[in-house]
Amino acid sequence: MRARALLVERDRGEATRRELVAVHALRTDLEIQEDGDRLAFPLVSEASVRPEWGTVDVRDFEPRKEGIPSEFRDLLELPESELRLVPRSFDVVGDVVLVRLPPELEERRFAVGEALLRFVPSCRLVGIDRGVRGPERRREVERIAGSGPWTTRHRENGLDFEVDLERAYFSPRLAGEHARVAAEVRPGDAVYDLCCGVGPFSVTIARDGRASSIVAVDANPAAIELLRRTLGRYPFGPRVRPVEARVEEFVLSAANAHRVIVNLPHEGIKYAALVAPLVAPGGGLYYYEVVPREEIVGRATVVQAALSAHGAWSVPAVRVVHPYSPSSDLVAVAAFRRGE
C-alpha cells in the first residue's frame, strides 16, 4: 500500500520510531521497511514531521503481519516464573540497547540479549546496564548480544551526540530535561553547563541560538573529547566553550552567568550551594538531586534555606524526573535569584 514515508539512517531507527510514536505520526497497520542504507517509516497522512528527523517521500509498504510481538519478552522461551521477572523497559542509545536485569535472571542474560537484538530495529549491540559509578559516573556495561564498540551516535531533540557508554556518562532518559532547561534560556544569557558530560544541555542551547555565551565544564577528559567531536559537526559548535576542569576549580575564577546548570545528582544540594554565587541577580540555577519520596513536598523550602547565604531566591516546587530507587526519585530543581 502506498503511503507517506519518513526515510532515516539506520542508526537513528529506534530513536526515530520513538519520536514518531510520541507524536502519533507512525502508522501501525503497515510494516517499517528497509530502503537501501535507510529505514522507511510509514506516516499517518496528516502527520507533521520535523525536517531534522529525515526525508519525507512516498513508498509502498507491506501490511503489518499478525503475530509480531509487541514486547521483547514475547521472543523469550522461559518458564512463566522467570518470564514475569523480565523487565518491560530498556534504553536505546544510538544503535546500542541497555537493559537492567534482576539477579534471578543473571543466567538468562544472553537469551535476553538475543531477544532484544531481534526486537529493536537497527540494534547492533546489547548490554547489561550495571549502573554508574565513581566521580565520573561511568556506566558499567557487559555485552550480552551483538558486536562492536560501546561508542555510538545518539539522536536526541533533533541533535546527534557522540557517546561512549563506557568512558563518559550519558542517559537517554534526560532528553526532556535537556530540552526543558534549554527553553529557559533568554536572548543574551550567559550560560554555564557544569558537570556537562557529553554536553546535551550545552549543544541544545547552542542550537537554539539565544545564549550570548555557553561554557561547558566537566572533569572527565573523555566527556570533553566527545563533546568537542559533536560540536565539530555543527555550524553552531563554536558557540560552546568546552572546559576540562573540576567545578571546584572553575568557580574560583568564573564571572557571573544568567543560567547555571549543575547535573551531579549524587552531590545535589552541596554543588548547588557551591555554584549559587555564580548566578547573576535575576538569573536561574538548575540542578538535579535524588530525594527520598517523603521529603519531596518540603524540598523547595529546604533548598531556599540552603541558598540564602548567597542572596534571596524563589524556589518553585521541585519536579520528579523519574523514580531512582524503591523509596526515592530523581528530581529537577529550579531556583531563581531575585534581582538586586
Ligand X SMILES: C[S@@+](CC[C@H](N)C(=O)[O-])C[C@H]1O[C@@H](n2cnc3c(N)ncnc32)[C@H](O)[C@@H]1O
Site residues, ligand X (CB under 6 A): 135-137, 168-170, 174, 195-197, 200-201, 217-220, 223, 246-248, 263-264
Query: Which residue, 219 or 278, has its beta carbon nearer to ligand X?
Result: 219
| Distance in Å, CB of 154 to ligand X, minimum | 11
Query: Which residue, 16 or 220, has its beta carbon nearer to ligand X?
Result: 220
- Centre a 10 Å sphere on the Cβ of residue 103 and count the other Cβ atoms it contains: 7
| Distance in Å, CB of 212 to ligand X, minimum | 21
What does the alpha-carbon distance between residue 56 and residue 163 come to, in Å, rounded to a whole number?
27
Query: Which residue, 113 or 199, has its beta carbon nearer to ligand X?
Result: 199
Query: Which residue, 9 or 267, has its beta carbon nearer to ligand X?
Result: 267
Q: Are 78 and 121 in contact (CB under 8 A)?
A: no
What does the alpha-carbon distance between residue 95 and residue 153 come to, in Å, rounded to a whole number?
8
Q: Are 83 and 45 in contact (CB under 8 A)?
A: no
Query: Which residue, 181 or 306, has its beta carbon nearer to ligand X?
Result: 181
Query: Which residue, 111 or 175, has its beta carbon nearer to ligand X?
Result: 175
What does the alpha-carbon distance between residue 217 and residue 173 come to, in Å, rounded to a whole number?
21
Query: Which residue, 25 or 182, has its beta carbon nearer to ligand X?
Result: 182
- What residues have CB less than 8 Å from 249, skipping those under 6 apart? none
What does the alpha-carbon distance between residue 279 and residue 146 come to, in Å, rounded to a whole number?
46
- What residues have CB less than 8 Å from 194, skipping those under 6 apart? 217, 247, 250, 260, 261, 262, 263, 264, 271, 275
Grid cell 534571596 is found at: 312
| Distance in Å, CB of 12 to ligand X, minimum | 19
- What residues have CB less than 8 Å from 328, skipping those under 6 apart? 290, 291, 292, 293
- Which residue is nearest to ligand X, using beta carbons? 197
Grid cell 497497520 is found at: 29
| Distance in Å, CB of 280 to ligand X, minimum | 21
| Distance in Å, CB of 240 to ligand X, minimum | 13
What does the alpha-carbon distance between residue 64 and residue 62 come to, in Å, rounded to a whole number?
6
| Distance in Å, CB of 29 to ligand X, minimum | 37
| Distance in Å, CB of 167 to ligand X, minimum | 10
CA dihedral of 300, 301, 305, 308, whole degrees rounded to 10: 60
Query: Which residue, 96 or 196, has its beta carbon nearer to ligand X?
Result: 196
| Distance in Å, CB of 86 to ligand X, minimum | 27
252: cell is 574560583
